[in-house]
Chains A and B, each alone.
Chain A
Amino acid sequence: GQNIDQPTEMTATEGAIVQINCTYQTSGFNGLFWYQQHAGEAPTFLSYNVLDGLEEKGRFSSFLSRSKGYSYLLLKELQMKDSASYLCAVTDSNYQLIWGAGTKLIIKP
């Protein structure tokens, strides 16, 4: 079956760096997305990776290794507003998005 694994919850300190991992096993691969979802709100797009390597966008970076079925989202200079759930999603061979259950990130002062 298709599966995406992310840690359920992580805690980090304001101003620090945190890495949220995502591993996937899907039938084919056509790209990986990261979304941010604040409590009670809709998911919003953060990043998209289709080739191996690191994509940087301000304080957020996303890495992909297709051979390892692995991605991570790196958040630098953490701010309290970064407290949210981070959703990993993979596009499979049928171009369907398969979603992970999300990682709840708690930022402490």
Chain B
Amino acid sequence: DAGITQSPRYKITETGRQVTLMCHQTWSHSYMFWYRQDLGHGLRLIYYSAAADITDKGEVPDGYVVSRSKTENFPLTLESATRSQTSVYFCASSESEVAYEQYFGPGTRLTVT
């Protein structure tokens, strides 16, 4: 089915471990985004990508790494997980960065112990 998917949906990991969150979209949208959502905060942009092999930092990029070798995939890696990275992570895509709605994946709930 067309859409945007994320995996895993739930993940528990230990401090210091590397974790990769996957995001896949089937619309061939140019733009993809990674957000984290914490209680009391709005969605905060971690990284975004305008096209394959083009990525840029958002508001809170420290401790995260992204890549985009194919248009449809945009994985997010936590190189050495910390408790402060416990959050819900949303991937989103859009046709354009401006004036277009973003379509969100179902989210990954990550707990770092």
* Chain A residue contacts of B41, Cβ below 8 A: 101
CB pair B99 A45 closer than 8 Å = no
Smallest beta-carbon distance B92→chain A, Å: 8
Interface digits, A12-44 against B, CB 8 Å rule (1 contact, 0 not)? 000000000000000000110100000001111
A4 at the interface (CB under 8 A from B): yes
The one of B43, B99, B106 in contact with A99, judged by C-beta atoms closer than 8 angstroms, is: B43
Give how many B residues have a beta carbon under 8 Å from the other chain's beta carbons. Answer: 19
CB pair B42 A41 closer than 8 Å = no
The one of A44, A48, A91, A95 in contact with B104, judged by C-beta atoms closer than 8 angstroms, is: A44
* Chain B residue contacts of A74, Cβ below 8 A: none
Closest 8 CB pairs of A and B: A99-B42, A42-B104, A45-B101, A99-B43, A101-B42, A95-B98, A95-B97, A100-B42
The contact sample of 24 A-B pairs, CB cut-off 8 A, is A31-B99, A33-B101, A41-B106, A41-B107, A42-B90, A42-B104, A42-B105, A42-B106, A43-B104, A44-B104, A45-B101, A45-B102, A45-B103, A48-B99, A91-B99, A95-B97, A96-B45, A96-B58, A96-B59, A97-B102, A99-B44, A101-B40, A101-B41, A102-B42
Q: Which residues of B contact A (CB under 8 A)?
A: 40-45, 58-59, 90, 97-99, 101-107
